[in-house]
Structure 1
Amino acid sequence: MTAIPPPPDQPPTAGMPEPEPVAEWWRKDGPHIPAPTGPADTVHTPVPIGTDHGQATQAASMAAAAETFWAPARAILAEQASAIASEVKQQVGQLLTETPAQRAAREQVEYEAMLAAQRARMDSALGKVGETPKEKAERHRVEDVLTPTTPGQRDDLVGLVDLLADRLSETPEDRAARQATQREVEKQRARAREDARLAATGETPAQRDLRHRQQHLADEREAKQRARRQRRRAARAQLSASTRYKRFRRWCVLTAISAVGGYSIGLVTVISPGGPWVGALLATFGHAFDLYLRDRGRLRVTEVRGAGRLALLTVVRIPVASGLAVATGLAPLLPALHLY
């Protein structure tokens, strides 16, 4: 009987290299989720906040941190929102109420402000690279020559010829519109300088809005007054000869009533010993005061209507009429009226 040898103490593959693993790309490259081996590796199940004391404390601390983080941002946003709302309200109100002349003036001022900002940026950039004051002054001179003061207007000989042609061919309405635009441009420039000066001295946005509102009301009153003057000038241009004669007779009657009033209060008697020169001097001062009260003479004496206004006009013109009566030698005729 053949003897069976004992088994080897090592496997026959001992000392040989390990075989390559199977190329299973889906197992190598895919996500590897280890199997749970204990309480620490168990799958987390979401729990509503507040069910545990620790979680509630953590949520409260997170809310406090979020509140602390967003508080400055919320304050800044609130301030910016109010400033933006005020600016938008002012711009919308300005667009709805401004006249064409005011709009043209505002656009002109904005254009000039844009040019000034561009020049300031260019000065800063060239100053950093070593531009001298002499070179800067020469560059500004060239820019002033090349940059028109008004958009679309040239400053050379061609621009001068175009300007003369515009002035010679413009109608009275065009001239009035141009002059109104120029007045508004100067007003806008003055107010822009005033805004910058007051902002540098510490004016708040609320104070600026109040000042702008007062300026807007003053502009409305000025526009109404200018419209009244324009209507009066248009009405005077259409007067006929008979209407002018009637107005002259009305002026004579009102002046005579004022002179009688001056004689009644003794003003004519007081200045009569002085002679015609004293009467002319009194009439001159009284006429100056009368013109001032009648919108510097833009409102004629014969254009005043209403019993109260006529009575006030008669009283105001007493020095004028009394001085004229003494200067023209008509003062001795007043006692013949037997007023008292």
Structure 2
Amino acid sequence: MTTIPPPPLEPPTVGMPTPEPAIEVVTEWWRKEVPAQPVPGVHIPVPLGAGPVLPSVEAAAAAFWAPAGELFAKQATAIATQVGEQVGQFLTETEPQRFARQQVEYEALVNAQRAERDAAFSAAGETAADRAERHRVEKILTPDRPLHRDDLVGLVDMLGARIAETPQDRAARLETERETAKRQARAEEDARLAAAGETPEQRTKRHRQQQLTDQREAKQHSRRARRRAARTQGPSDRVRRFRRWMLLTAISAYLGHACYLVQTAALGGPYVGLLLATFGFALDLKVRGYGLRVTEVRGVGPLLLMITMRIPVASGLIVTVGADRLLAALPI
């Protein structure tokens, strides 16, 4: 029978060398008190309040908009000064003074530009004959005076001229513009063909053909004008003018109701409407030159301008006669 020995009194590892302790792996070194070197490629969270102090949003916005504010202040001052000078000039200058000043400014500008071109072409080897031919073409292409000014005074002058011109004046202006455009186009064509080698005989023959074409077009234009005048004959002039005046006034009143001018004036009663109509009528007479009738305005552009300028007087009349409720009840 096999005998089982008793268990040993000491473990079998007694007397063996003790192993060295293993190196502790720090996985959350930022939570330890001992600082450790950061590992490349690992994000290190920073506690709130421990980072650099950033400026406030108001300070950053003020620093960002400071240069723009300075620039806008300078531009606004310059624009206000220029507009003030132009308005003062428009109110104090007479029409002959304005025309003379504009003509002098335009001639000075044209002479300066011509001198610069002459110097440039002379440096390039232009002869006296070439310069004379170029001056002839430039005189045809350049108008005798500026067509309009690119400022507030020019805008007001153009609006007044467009509204106050009669049908005869408008027809003459359009005819002048067409004739000027035709002359410019033909001068450009002459210069182009002369550079291509056209002889004087060929140019004379081409000009004769163009003259015959112009005469034929003039006959057709006069024939159309006679037919148009025959179609416009109808009721008496007084009845036709009254219908046209009523239609234009109704359109202006509706536009005033659409922009809430009628409703605003109706809050003050008929006297406010009468005051508005008086002011609007004075403005209307000023724009129309104290002589042009409402029914004599022709053309899409002048009609739109006149309808817009007559919104105050039409709105005031509607409020004065008490037709603002009727206008509001219309299903428009």
Q: Mark yes or no: TM-score above 0.5.
A: no
TM-score normalized with structure 1 length: 0.30
User: If you compute each CA radius of gyration, which structure gives the higher value, 1 or 2?
Assistant: 1
TM-score normalized with structure 2 length: 0.31
